Amino acid sequence: MRKRMVAVYMAMAVLVCVFCFVPAYGQEDIVTLEDSAFVDQQRPPAVFRHDEHNEKAEIEECNVCHHLYQDGNKVEDDSSEGQGCSECHHVEEEHSTKALMKAYHDLCTGCHRDKNKGPVTCGECHPRKN
């Protein structure tokens, strides 16, 4: 009887580990598109799985999303990787640079609409926590 109880407790411990720790490691690629320039957010940051997204969208060149402009023209062979979007785009529109939120939305939902794939509504990208 005692051996059976030990086996039951061991099985329960394994199940707890599987259900608690494995999902945490499975979410390591979940990233949010968060920018400190946004102070008063109405919705949480967009959930974005970078590698999974690019694989599904068949995006191979980083500058498709991480674009660079010089003198108003897109620089085709260069990328803004490692640079925050708010380094060029500001919360309020300035000169010829789009406002930060508009830049995000135009880039992401614009592409999704053009390809007729991916989320385009607020709640699909910015799910509220329950």
d(C-alpha 31, C-alpha 111), whole Å = 19
pTM of the model as a whole: 0.68
pLDDT (tens place) for every residue of the chain, 130 residues total: 777 766 666 656 665 555 554 444 444 566 888 887 888 888 888 988 899 999 999 999 999 999 998 888 889 889 998 888 888 888 888 777 889 999 999 999 999 999 999 999 999 999 887 6
Q: Which H/E stretch holds residue 74?
A: strand 73-74
Taking only Cα atoms into account, the Rg of the chain, rounded to an integer number of angstroms, comes to 21
CB 57 within 8 A of CB 69: no
Residue-range domains of the chain with CATH: 30-125 (3.90.10.10)
Q: Any idea which residue has 């259900």 for tokens?
A: 19
Structure confidence by residue, pLDDT tens digits, 93-117? 877 788 999 999 999 999 999 999 9
